[in-house]
Structure 1
Amino acid sequence: MTTPDKDLIAAELDRARARTALLTDAVDDDDLTRQHSTLMSPLVWDLAHVGNQEELWLVRDVGGRQPIRQDIDHLYDAFKHARRDRPTLPLLDPAEARRYVAQVRDKALDVLDRVRLDERPLVAGGFAFGMIVQHEQQHDETMLATHQLRSGAPVLSAPPPPPGDRRVRGEALIPGGPFTMGTDTDPWALDNERPAHVVDVPAFLIDVAPVSNAAYAAFIDAGGYDDPRFWSERGWAHRQEAGLAAPMHWFRDGDSWMYRRFGHVEPVRMDEPVVHVCYFEAEAYARWAGKRLPTEAEWEKAARWDPATGRSRRYPWGDEAPGPEHANLGQRHLAPAPVGAYPAGASPLGVHQLIGDVWEWTSTGWHGYPGFRVFPYAEYSEVFFGGDYRVLRGGSFGTDPAACRGTFRNWDHPIRRQIFSGFRCARDLP
């Protein structure tokens, strides 16, 4: 990625805000303030929260300006209030929240106009502004997940993704040997993506595409949810306690599987990657299939390593930013694209759809890389290290390109499936 200039930074800030507006203007004030699931915040909380983070970092820290609404900081501190409790807080109402984020944005753009992007590490390469862009886009994906959980008539629309390719099947061999994982050069990479370091990965096989709905339906039909042999001890306990029997939002209609998606009810598309499965479900499927989930290092080597040059690319297809031909990102479509839909986005070793469509569970717990250093605050990454989390990679159809690259790392609890999560399998060489 080339070092962003101020025009690009302003454009990225505007693009993120336009998406926030689309997601919040699509519903009425009652929908904005209602909690659609205890797993999620009310949409109006997310709206004011992105403004509050922008005020804290860009207006107050980078700009050195006086606070706009210091009195609300505690309401929008994600560490002070669990999501389930946020509806009971004295939150800004929708009109107040919109006025607040607009006021913050005006001041943030004035700071951008005046600041030098080389004066200290926080703003070098526009990092603080890029951090806020990514933060807002991450909350936009969270709000999109909230839209998937809301009841009522559809309010979002998008064209369907491109068609798939039935020839994209099977596994790819990833040769053994060292590769460079992480980055030291991407100006907007977050602290958990750093530093670049060499990892020696033994040869392995990985699915060339994410596991499809058809393949997952075969697991269900074979009794995979009823056979504890395929589940870890923790996974089986959770499957029983939560009553898991299919991916979230699937239900039976006679002999067919149906799916509720953003207010629409439609048959499950069997050629799409499966989505809304938790880590334990992915783990059980992999064991049923005679495989396993890839480690995080395996996933990144499959996504970034170029055997012709020995270097690690920014994306599977190269270093250029994602285009609509490469990956299903940015809410351009409201569903994962069918398997094989993005041949131009494949890695040099023929692995498809590593970026976009569905976040992919890996078997790796959440931790910092060797030599990890907090920057600029511990609450983004470090405080979660060593907890009960699994790493997800690659982004989803709801992830914006600004918050997705071959080094980008996500993490969540292994029981979570309201996120746009899927997986692919790997296995050791025979």
Structure 2
Amino acid sequence: MPAEALRERIAAELLAARARTAVLTGSVDDRDLTAQHSPLMSPLVWDLAHIGNQEELWLLRTVGGRDPLLPGIDSLYDAFEHPRAERPSLPLLPPAEARAYAHDVRGRVLDVLEAAALDGDPLLRGGFAFGMVAQHEQQHDETMLITHQLRQGPPVLDDPAPPPAPADAAALPAEVLVPGGDFTMGTSTEPWALDNERPAHTVHVPAFHLDTVPVTNGAYQRFVADGGYDDPRWWTPEGWDHRQRAGLTAPLFWTRDGATWLRRRFGRTEEVPADEPVVHVCWYEADAYARWAGRRLPTEAEWEKAARHDPATGRSRRYPWGDADPTPEHANLGQRHLRPAPAGSHPAGASPHGARQLIGDVWEWTSSRFTPYPGFRAWPYREYSEVFFGGDYRVLRGGSFGVAPVACRGTFRNWDHPVRRQIFSGFRTARDAEPRTAGRTAPGAA
């Protein structure tokens, strides 16, 4: 990409991220900005200044060689130094000062962008440092959207409904076949890919079947109605212990009103729509559902092969539909809609194997633990990925309605503890390409 076109793209991504940040932080008053709405999340004002601080550290100081703007604040906004539960007690910048700081940093960063050589230095080649910062802000925008979901009070965010499912959605097959064989997993060429997506490497994946669409609320309700939360047969020992201790009986934010399931969503209470992908389930719940259905969660490699492998050419695409950047026709991304689209939506975003909604709508739990790829090298800092390898983290793939396109691609890897469900997490199930194990329901269908 020519340098000027690259600068324009970088500026557009930075501005898009800041516009979203402004909506999420400008839609509530200072009291809500400084409150901690859940011990799992930071106060919104912390996220706002942290975004500015990371941008200053990488783009003003590291790239631009500038002196600190506010000496002494780095430790306040160091995510590793202060766990989320502690952040409300820190001497954080008040909302007006946090906004002014982030605004000042951004103005100076755009000046640095105009003068930066976007080649040579690996940190600047292809605009990587700028792309990393844009992704970082959009990742925090998704985190702040989660905080909005946890926040008590009336709705404050616009909530346009996604389009209805296409006419063929009800006739889609329950599953698709992904043939066995080698494929290229990860990337060595995506210019803004983060370190855990690298390097590209060959993986052999035996043939398997995958749900055509994510598991829906309607399908998940059948699991609940069949006593799935009360039967230890469907749960791992760790999962059953967590289900008992946490008192899990349904996805987070669900309540029952007689025979009707309701959910709370960004300050609104509504009936749970049967045809939407289920969201706000933890890994243990997803795994239990899959066992109850006589299936399993896909491995991370299976998920990526289903999303990227083109059987006609043998190459791995950037996205299920090809190499072009996502549009609204391809996927539900970028907080355009504050809910998943109905199952079967976005036929233009289907993979060559026929699976839909692999990108956007809900993060999809896989069975895999978060580990490095062969040849992994921590870069440009080890705290992004390396410190998380080897724990109980499980990999999620595909993005959600809350993540921006810049921070979502076929190689992008997310991870979280298996107990987490405040995140926009759902799943789809898989089975080996052999006679089906007897199950309880047709997975995926509403």
The 5-angstrom pairing of residues 102-117 of structure 1 reads 102-117=103-118
Mapping of residues 264-279 of structure 1, within 5 Å:
264-279=268-283
Q: Which residue of 1 aligns with 2:187?
A: 183
Is 1:372 aligned to residue 373 of structure 2? no
| SS state at 2:170 partner | coil
Aligned mates of 1:402, 1:2 — CA distance in 2: 19
Give the secondary-structure state (helix, strand or coil) at the position aligned to 1:376: coil
Contact 1:13 1:133 in 2 (8 A): yes
Structure 2: stretches of 5+ with no match in the other structure: 435-446
**CA distance in 1: counterparts of 2:281 and 2:272, whole angstroms:** 14
Shift of 1:231: 0.1
Matches of 1:233 and 1:217, distance apart in 2: 23
1:80 corresponds to which residue?
Answer: 81
Match of 1:192 among 171, 182, 196: 196
Secondary structure of the residue aligned to 2:280 is coil
Q: What's 2:437 paired with?
A: none
Q: Secondary structure at the match of 1:326?
A: coil
Q: Please point out which of 355, 358, 361 is paired with 1:354.
A: 358
Structure 1 residue 387 displacement after superposition? 1.0
CA RMSD of aligned residues (A): 1.0
Map 1:11-410 → 2, pairs under 5 A: 11-164=12-165, 165-410=169-414
Q: Contact 1:205–1:427 (CA<8 Å) still a contact in 2?
A: yes
Q: Secondary structure at the match of 1:70?
A: coil
Q: Is the CA contact 1:203–1:428 (under 8 Å) kept in the aligned structure 2?
A: yes
Separation of aligned partners in 1, 2:309 and 2:159: 33
Deviations 1:336-367 (CA, angstroms, capped at 9, x unpaired):
00001111100011000000000000010011
How far did residue 2 of structure 1 move? 9.1
Q: Secondary structure at the match of 2:262?
A: strand
Distance 2:322 2:231 in 1: 42
Task: Tell me, yes or no, if the aligned pair for 1:169 and 1:209 is still in contact at 8 Å.
Answer: no
Query: How many Å separate the matches in 2 of 1:180 and 1:400?
Result: 25
Tell me, yes or no, if the aligned pair for 1:148 and 1:261 is still in contact at 8 Å: yes
Q: Percent identity?
A: 70
Post-superposition CA distance 1:109-160 (Å, at most 9, x none): 1111111011300010000000000000000000000000000000001311
Shift in CA distance, 67/425, structure 1 to aligned 2, threshold 3 Å: same
Q: Distance in 2 between matches of 1:204 and 1:380?
A: 32
Distance 1:91 1:104 in 2: 17
Deviations 1:154-187 (A, max 9, x none): 0001311111221234111110000000011110
Tell me by how many angstroms 1:374 deviates.
Answer: 1.0
Q: Secondary structure at the match of 1:206?
A: strand
Q: Hey, what's the Cα distance between the residues in 1 that align with 2:120 and 2:52?
A: 24
Which amino acid in structure 2 is aligned with residue 364 of structure 1?
S
Provide the residue aligned with 2:444 in structure 1.
none
Deviations 1:317-339 (A, max 9, x none): 00000000000000010100000
2:419 match: secondary structure: coil
Return the alpha-carbon distance in structure 2 between the equivalents of residues 318 and 149 of structure 1. Answer: 36
Q: What is the alpha-carbon distance in structure 1 between the residues aligned to residue 218 and residue 144 of structure 2?
A: 28
Check whether the contact 1:211–1:273 (CA below 8 A) recurs between aligned residues.
yes
Q: Give the equivalent residue in structure 2 for 1:425.
A: 429
Tell me, yes or no, if the aligned pair for 1:292 and 1:425 is still in contact at 8 Å: yes
User: Following the alignment from structure 1 to structure 2, what is the Cα–Cα distance between the partners of residues 130 and 202?
Assistant: 35
Q: Residue 183 of structure 1 contacts residue 193 of structure 1 at CA under 8 Å; is this kept in 2?
A: yes
Aligned length: 430
